[in-house]
Amino acid sequence: MSLPLSPAASAMEIERGTSFYLGRIRADTAYVRGLSGAGVTIGTLDTGISSAHREFLQPGKLLPGLNAVTAGTDVTDRNGHGSHVAGIIAGARDGRGNAGVAFGATLLPIKIFLDSGSGNTLALDAGLRHAIGKAAIVNLSIGAAGPFDPRAMQQAVKSGLLIVAAAGNDGAPAANWPARFAREAWANNQIIAVGAVDGTNRIASFSNRAGDTAAWFLVAPGVGVVSAYRNDQYATMSGTSMAAPMVSGAAALLMQMWPRLRADQVATILLVTATDLGAPGIDPIYGRGLLNIAKALQPVGALTTTTYNGKTIHVLNGTMQPSAATSAIWSLAASGQLRAVGRDDFQRDFGIDLGRSVARSTALSLTQVIRGMERRMEVAERVFADDVEMAFARESWIVAGNHGNHGNQSGIAQYDALRSRLAAFSLQARSGSGMQTSFALGSFAGQEFGAQGFKLAPDLSLSQVAGLSNPYLSLLPGTSHLAVARELGGYRIRAGLVASGARDPLASSDIYLPASSSLPKAKSGIFEVSRSFDGASLSLSLLQTRESNAYLGSYSSGALSIANRAATHSLQLAGAVLLMPQLALAGQAAYGITPGLSSDSLVAGVTTLRTNAFSLALVAADRLRTGDRLSLAVSQPMRTYAGQLTMDVLSNEQARDRLVFSMAPAGREVRGELNYQAPLGPLSSMGVSMMLRREPNNIADAALDKLLALRYATRF
């Protein structure tokens, strides 16, 4: 059941239905933006205007006009043609009759015809010269069979007037004059010739075609158009005379939106944004195509802006992938605070939501879980002598389907293939003087530092508890390390270098990544002091982490690029205590400082950022069956708690804004992890993993992230 419209709403709907052409030329986009043509004056060189008509009664709608035939001021329309044209240009949007394309524009009536509709070029020339300095646009819904002295038109062009001229109603292959003057070099792209199309957007049978003015030719609805007429009446008329005022109204909307545009720029924008009709591209029938106001209000060409130091950048190029430490940027993007002004090829300013280029961190996905469950890791250790140990891990996984033609009639073999690679490697050597040297690649690289390096009992290692890893080593995926250690007075002193690169040094050809200087890289120098007691261990680690093409784990380019480097100094205090045989409690707290830096994007700079991370874990062995491992960890991953980001952006054509935002997110991720692994026999094993993330990636409004995975593996 529908409710009846109010009388006012019903009247507006009726007026809108009468003004069907507004939808055809997509004028509503302009009205949504508050455009009406206000402040723009359009000269109508025609049979005059009925000043008492309801469509023109608004104060200031009509300026004092000129009767170019008599050199007087009587511009009363006794023919109806001029009022009809004027109503299409700027008729009131008041729920009566029809609405003009630029209903808020001002009209300058210039009568160049007798009441019978006949006229001459002398009156036209006088009318054009009168419009100079008084109007920005002149509408010429007129036609002549042949060329005439163009000096008045040349003068109008030089003065900056935009001239919109009807192509004529002879069904001819080319436009009549004065529209045909559009092809002349002196026209300076300031004359638009306009043809008419019917209700199916086909060229009207009466309309002249584009011909040799194709590059300056538009079409608009021109069949069955209702508009004002003489004596406060309305009439339905057809012709290119009805199509031309739609283009004049569209030009007024553009001029209101961007007053600094020149006439030739306005014309070019309308021409290049037209909807292509007929043969692809500019053609001799439709020229550029159908007037499209919505597209004319969109950027033409690349949108650019300037940074605070004068660098020009493309506003819409580039991306931003925040990390947990920089997740405040996502919140700023989601709330629409990352805005700037960009300019197109015509230096028109457009408000841009830069937040559209910011990607939200993804939640734990089923794909990730399945991929992880498909992989299996085999770790082998070998002791060559009392002072040399080696360990390596081989990773295997299944790749499904499509591996070539093996007799299948379809040419595609459907079978699963087993892939494997060396995933990690470590080598430790001890000298007689107590010096220990280690080298590792892959997943073993970070497990000798901090709490993960503790071993409180022969079968109770903390290396596999992810929540106990140094959070600042998470900035170095796919790492390798070289370290030396020595025992001094009961303390163990270790120094090392951990590095990651664009390419995994152990990767097989199946997972090859091309080397690229633009891929994120990082390296850390580590100095660590640790001490073990009876059933307990403590360590203090100092790191200096340098990132290249990344910033605290986030990746960015283009307008929101933060930096292509970062240097973070961090400290980690870790400890573990054996509560009972095969049961340990371990924890770590880490703090980092990333010094501020400047950038040459719209992000002018970032102040010093302070970050932290915490974790606590219970680790047990041989709880339910011999050889099993159980860990329960609660952690807060790396999070920024102090620091600011500054943006310097164009706010309009004249001014810049300097915006300062906090880099401390409103959310705080708290992660809980439960892992259990157990052998089921000499050939089988099982595992259970469960994870909960509250406010994942430190995003306050993010939904609880949940993961549950069961794994069973056997060899046969």
The pLDDT assigned to 296 comes to: 98
Q: Which of 262, 277, 296 is the last residue of a domain?
A: 296
Indicate whether 305 belongs to any domain.
no
Question: What pLDDT, in 10s, does the model give residues 72-87?
Answer: 999 999 999 999 999 9
Higher pLDDT, 376 or 143: 143
Same domain, residue pair 292 and 384: no
* DSSP collapsed to 3 states, 408-470: CCCCCCCCCEEEEEEEEEEEEEECCCCEEEEEEEECCCCCCCHHHHCEEECCEECCCCHHHCC
Q: What is the mean pLDDT of residues 158-176?
A: 97
> Is residue 362 within 8 Å of residue 327, measured between CB atoms?
no
The CATH number linked to 197 is 3.40.50.200
Same domain, residue pair 372 and 284: no
What the block records as the tokens of 214 is 């194709």
- How many alpha carbons lie under 13 Å from residue 402 in its C-beta half-sphere? 0
Range of the domain at 638: 366-714
Same domain, residue pair 432 and 553: yes
> Is residue 303 within 8 Å of residue 288, measured between CB atoms?
no
Indicate whether 355 belongs to any domain.
no
Which are the catalytic amino acids?
46, 81, 241
Confidence of residue 308 (pLDDT cuts 50, 70, 90): confident
The pLDDT assigned to 508 comes to: 41
Indicate whether 186 belongs to any domain.
yes
Same domain, residue pair 278 and 179: yes
C-alpha dihedral, 397 to 626 to 387 to 619, nearest 10°? 80
- Letter for the amino acid at 513? L
- C-alpha closest to that of 501 among 477, 525, 475, 473: 477
- Angle, in degrees to the nearest 10, between helices 151-159 and 121-131: 10
Q: Look at residue 573 and tell me whether its pLDDT is greater than 80.
A: yes
Higher pLDDT, 478 or 231: 231
Same domain, residue pair 282 and 375: no
Same domain, residue pair 113 and 243: yes
Count up the domains in the chain and report the number: 2
Q: Look at residue 390 and tell me whether its pLDDT is greater than 80.
A: no
Q: Look at residue 659 and tell me whether its pLDDT is greater than 50.
A: yes
The pLDDT assigned to 500 comes to: 79
Q: Which of 257, 276, 296 is the last residue of a domain?
A: 296
Confidence of residue 300 (pLDDT cuts 50, 70, 90): very high
Indicate whether 268 belongs to any domain.
yes
Same domain, residue pair 398 and 285: no
Q: Look at residue 407 and tell me whether its pLDDT is greater than 60.
A: no
Q: Which of 296, 325, 352 is the last residue of a domain?
A: 296
pTM: 0.77
Indicate whether 341 belongs to any domain.
no
Indicate whether 18 belongs to any domain.
yes
